[in-house]
Amino acid sequence: MTFVMGPALLFCPADRPERFQKAAERADAVILDLEDAVAAPDKQRARGAILAQLGSSGEGPELDPSRTIIRINPAGTEDFEKDLHCLAHTPYRTVMLAKAESANQLRALPDFHVVALCETAAGVVHAPAIAAEPNVVAMMWGAEDLLASLGGTSSRNDDGGYRAVALHARSSVLLAAGAAGKQAIDAVYVNIPDLDGLAVEARDAAASGFGSKACIHPSQVAAVRAAYAPSNADVAAATQLLEAAKEAGTGVFQYQGRMIDGPILRHAESVLRRAR
């Protein structure tokens, strides 16, 4: 099964089955959350909700497994083992491992494609080793849990921008993913009404190389998709540049007053990939 990971991924609490289908319809992929979005007394009910939506008619799950991620609890916890027992009875084989901190934890999930969520100091420091594991398909970072693991109180400054340590973690996970040839997912934007701020951050994520950005509310999906979609002018410029490169036929050439080489051409190719 090839997992389809578009630009906008939407979290949905796993104990709210009435929202499953709506979340899947509104985003490029849905993340059913068995971890932080579900209170401890409700986790077993949340697992039951995932099983219940599979149905008994033999027609398969209501959700497309190629567009569904299950966020499971941290490795080494009792809930982690219960989550895996639940998933063994489902067709879902892409999971997000909360608070991933070591390569060994990924080896406990040999039958799954894993999105490794690095949201603690240990997870960020060990991100390169985690990303190198064969079953890891993507890397994500989390700001709020990271600052909590450090004893901090907020991931952002008063102006809304990330603190230096959060920016370091963001870059570290992106670089680890890129070095291992894996996709990177940018953290959620928790100020739900601030769609302008989300748009700025999503545009930066796209320009920096994050393949996706996670959302916590359906209203955020459109802003993320718009940030990842190149404008018609961007597409036309990239197309013209690549055509000029074919005509030049050399490694380095001048185009509209700029020196053009391999990295600039790859930027243009990225624009066209996003447009597709």
The annotation places the binding site for substrate at 71, 119
Residues in the annotated binding site: 71, 119, 145
Spatial separation of the C-alpha atoms in residues 115 and 100, rounded to whole Å: 9
- Residue positions in the annotated binding site for Mg(2+)? 119, 145
Per-position b or e across 219-240, b if 16+ CB within 10 A of its CB = ebbebbbebbebeeeebeebee
Backbone phi, psi, residue 141, to 5°: -120, 155
The two tokens of residue 51 are 């099983």
Among residues 170, 238, 227, the alpha carbon closest in space to that of 196 is found at 227
